[in-house]
Amino acid sequence: MLLVIDWAMILEKFVLITVVVMASLGIAMYTTFAERKVAAILQDRRGPNRAGPFGLLQPLADGLKLFFKEEIIPNFSSKSLFILGPGLAMLTAIMTSAVIPWGDKVHFFNRDISLQIADINIGILYVFGVVSLGVYGIMIGSWASNNKFSLLGGLRAASQIISYELAMGISLIALLMVTGTLSLKEMVLQQQQGGWGGLLSWNVLKQPLGFFIFIICSFAECNRTPFDLPEAENELIGGYHTEYSSMKLGFYLFAEYINMFISSVIMATLFFGGYDMPFVNEANLSPNIAALVGIIALMAKVVFFIFVFMWVRWTIPRFRYDQLMHLGWRILIPLALFNMLVTGGLILYFNK
């Protein structure tokens, strides 16, 4: 059997992977700048404004600072695992982007190129599988630090992520019952067919309670305030990354912002039509222009969700840990189960 290698397709995927990874890193870098600006606006101050025009070079200055800081590895730590922890957190954060449809096809060199690295029919399961691995980066780093405060932060992170993944998963079961597919690309295509410019087919209108549960769980999965107990500085010094310095600390911080960006993309894709631009008929546009419009539409939705993440961080105080677990196990999971049962009942009633 002769194996034929499509080198053009391999090159396409390599270029797409490079663009997605570099764009994710760049967006995460400037999300740190945006967060400080949003915090400044909410607190009636200026924020960073010294490095470059309007402070736009501040993320580069922060990155250089982390690169040139002294690299410290504690003597009593498990050195190999200490190095592995932040690398695993960063890797799992980036891997999630592989199944996200960033736009429709573009046409170059007489080829239709899909703006999705891997269009697999179990995209949601892949996302959940990779996201679940992210907690190992935190747990390994906290345990390898040989620091009681770091270990407590890692244990908090593990129990928090397990608790809120259950509610998130059950809320998505109801969405899958409505859409009938696990493919993210298929979900976007379904949301393009509806009245009022496509808005009436967005899944947020079909699953409002599911979206509400999903966005709360996303805050917990990303360790964002008010769910930032794993790194609560007033209780745990600095949490699971207390012993880290230089770019190892930078990897943990970058992983959090990449997770926030990817969570925003997934919410936009699952509930808000993905790269669909309402009231625009892409069939009347050239493939490349239609793809560009789709990317702009997706990024606009993502910017909105990132702003919500920041707005909540600088508005709502941190939970106590018992309140956090109470919300996860005794409120969100029963709500998600109720939503799933009601959705199933309505589907059976209208399809009989």
Are 131 and 75 in contact by the 8 Å Cβ rule? The answer is no
Residue 108 bridge partners (DSSP): 111
In angstroms, rounded to a whole number, what is the distance separating the alpha carbons of residues 292 and 273? Answer: 15
Residue type, 78: S
In angstroms, rounded to a whole number, what is the distance separating the alpha carbons of residues 349 and 164? Answer: 30
Eight-class DSSP state of 126: H
In angstroms, rounded to a whole number, what is the distance separating the alpha carbons of residues 48 and 302? Answer: 23
In sequence order, the 6+-apart residues with CB closer than 8 A to the CB of 270 are 172, 175, 184, 187, 203, 214
Quick check: helix, strand or coil at residue 111? strand
Rounded to two decimals, the pTM is 0.89
Q: Among candidates 73, 52, 72, which has minimal Cα distance to 61?
A: 52
Angle at 124 between CA 123 and CA 130, to 5 degrees: 90
The reported pLDDT for the residue numbered 113 is 80
Are 22 and 14 in contact by the 8 Å Cβ rule? The answer is no
Q: Among candidates 27, 147, 153, 138, which has minimal Cα distance to 75?
A: 147
Residue type, 283: A
The reported pLDDT for the residue numbered 120 is 83
Eight-class DSSP state of 105: -
Q: Among candidates 269, 264, 276, 265, which has minimal Cα distance to 199?
A: 276
The reported pLDDT for the residue numbered 277 is 83
* Domain ranges within the chain, ordered by starting residue: 73-350
| Mean pLDDT split into 10-residue runs, the chain, 352 residues | 67 86 87 90 86 85 83 80 86 87 82 82 86 84 85 87 89 90 88 75 90 92 83 76 84 86 92 84 78 90 93 87 89 93 89 74
Tokens 């745990």 correspond to 236
In angstroms, rounded to a whole number, what is the distance separating the alpha carbons of residues 336 and 168? Answer: 8
The reported pLDDT for the residue numbered 25 is 86
The reported pLDDT for the residue numbered 118 is 82
DSSP H helical ranges for 207-286: 208-221, 233-236, 246-271
The reported pLDDT for the residue numbered 3 is 57
Tokens 């909105």 correspond to 304
CB atoms within 10 A of CB 178: 16
| CA dihedral over 133, 134, 139, 144, signed as positive or negative | positive
Phi, psi of 39, rounded to the nearest 5 degrees: -60, -40
CA distances from 145 to 40, 76, 157, 187, 254 (A): 34, 8, 15, 42, 19
